[in-house]
Structure 1
């Protein structure tokens, strides 16, 4: 089967492309950085996997127009090519942020969408176009909403947290007891492969997440264990730390309100729908195993 992938240079693409090649798929990388892709013959493919997109800018320096141009308009253009092509599946990587910036309880696919950022809004509007389009017979569209993806080579808050723990710096946010879902890149690749090859999986929206949510305190403890350090959890007043983050919004500090929210919010995501569709009880990599693999990659650098 030939698979056409956009956004192959990103973290997910760098892992998914070799994974699929190892499975003996014929993988074609399609660059959509400019309009030249429109003149290419992209019709002779079995599956489109659309990874390309504008990621959430935590520094908030990007204009709303940029998000909608890339995340919504480009997705619609590529999807319209899919409708005319021989491909049977269109897999669009959206985000849980397309429907909820914060979560009360556990996030399911049925939640009422309330995206508050241009990033989330642009992803959601692309989703709506795909869902509201009448599909020709024999075609499927999968909208994937992954939570925080991690794996070897991944950068971001997880890497920053590792550096804090590895240096023996106490974790000052232990008073914020929370639980958060993660997604290992290994489970992501497994799910994509399984969906493409299972004719019983219906078109629709599917959350991608590991089977278990972990608290930041549990994560810090895991980071410490892999680093051969004793976990240092400081239970400092939430009010005081919120004040520090507010100062960080005005002057450049390691902690600002956006980062504090990401590190301490509850964000639990259900993966029950995709597991039911695939008829699997659990994913191949546990949340702890996946995180430990990622953490060890930080240690090897």
Structure 2
């Protein structure tokens, strides 16, 4: 792509979308605009407000001057989804809205569609030392992951039919300044200095700092090898839950009391309390292999885990 690349970022006022916009504003090679929901946008870039993203929304007036879409908007994973039909809700946003946007983009000549998916498409856990790869057969285990896989499949078909390039990125847990959800909850607990029974967890989990993920996303906007591929991304260092909590506490300047309770007891207690999903994320391993991502994109993680955790508290 010659000249400045015109990029539209969806979900521009979300945790990841806002960070993508900020990163692209720094680079002189991009003209960036944001697609947002809500009343306003504090970043100094053009933005387009919509009330809803679904299978009927028209984007044609927005897409005429766009070269690349980075699609970060999504209905994110919720541990206890109270919707009457959760799968239908995930599909409405993550599949139907994505397909609708991609079809309109292809029709007006958008060159590339970068889709932010999830490692949950691969599955929920891995045997220790046997990480997920981009070529593994997908094994989604919840409605959110099913919807992300269905969106991936639909996008690849649109690409085959239209010639618009599609790039898929599957991050694991993303952390960074402004992080929300389970990671933010964990930070609040650490800040209170409450004892946690997680001092003997010897699993391994991949995670990705926001800046490392952003560097991969930016690389995928115009890297010639990226088209049609799936990329897994991480910080390149897998931590046990115990190690993560220790490093998080050190980064925040907190004292931590991690009690070494046997993992089998934690698993039993979680089942009895109906917290099996929470226990799985804390106790089991989930590792990703980023060797192919590094090789094909000529990329290495920009920051270490320690550096990434320290950025949260700045």
Both proteins in one fold, TM over 0.5: yes
Alignment pair present for 1:103 and 2:126 = yes
Comparing 11-20 and 271-280, the one that deviates more? 271-280
Aligned twin of 1:152: 177
Aligned twin of 2:302: 284
Aligned length: 288
Shift of 1:135: 5.1
Shift of 1:240: 3.1
What's the RMSD between the two structures over aligned residues?
Answer: 2.0
Shift of 1:230: 4.5
1:227–1:6 CA distance, 2 compared to 1 (3 A): closer
Secondary structure of the structure 1 residue equivalent to 2:260: coil
After the TM superposition, list the runs of 4 or more consecutive aligned residues in structure 1 that deviate by more than 3 angstroms. 34-39, 227-231
Structure 2 residue ranges without an equivalent (≥5): 37-49
Aligned twin of 1:22: 26
Aligned twin of 2:77: 56
Alignment pair present for 1:94 and 2:117 = yes
- Does the Cα contact within 8 Å between 2:133 and 2:288 map onto a contact in 1? yes
1:203–1:279 CA distance, 2 compared to 1 (3 A): same
Secondary structure of the structure 2 residue equivalent to 1:160: helix
> Per-residue displacement from partner, 1:5-55 (whole Å, max 9, x unpaired)?
211121001111111112132222224515554453413211011111111
Within a 5 Å distance, the mapping from 1:97-176 to structure 2 comes to 97-104=120-127, 105-133=130-158, 134=160, 136-137=162-163, 139-176=164-201
Aligned to 1:11, which of 12, 15, 22? Answer: 15
- Does the Cα contact within 8 Å between 1:30 and 1:37 map onto a contact in 2? no
1:226–1:288 CA distance, 2 compared to 1 (3 A): closer
- Does the Cα contact within 8 Å between 1:207 and 1:270 map onto a contact in 2? yes
> Per-residue displacement from partner, 1:59-114 (whole Å, max 9, x unpaired)?
13232110111111111111111211232110011111122122232011111111
- Does the Cα contact within 8 Å between 2:263 and 2:283 map onto a contact in 1? no
**2-structure distance, mates of 1:49, 1:228:** 36
> Per-residue displacement from partner, 1:227-274 (whole Å, max 9, x unpaired)?
43444331113343234323433xxxxxx2222222222111122222
- Does the Cα contact within 8 Å between 2:9 and 2:20 map onto a contact in 1? no
- Does the Cα contact within 8 Å between 1:83 and 1:135 map onto a contact in 2? no
Aligned to 1:40, which of 54, 58, 61? Answer: 61
TM-score, normalised to structure 1's length? 0.88
Shift of 1:165: 2.9
**2-structure distance, mates of 1:103, 1:135:** 34
Comparing 106-115 and 166-175, the one that deviates more? 166-175
Structure 1 residue ranges without an equivalent (≥5): 250-255
Within a 5 Å distance, the mapping from 1:142-291 to structure 2 comes to 142-249=167-274, 256-280=275-299, 282-291=300-309
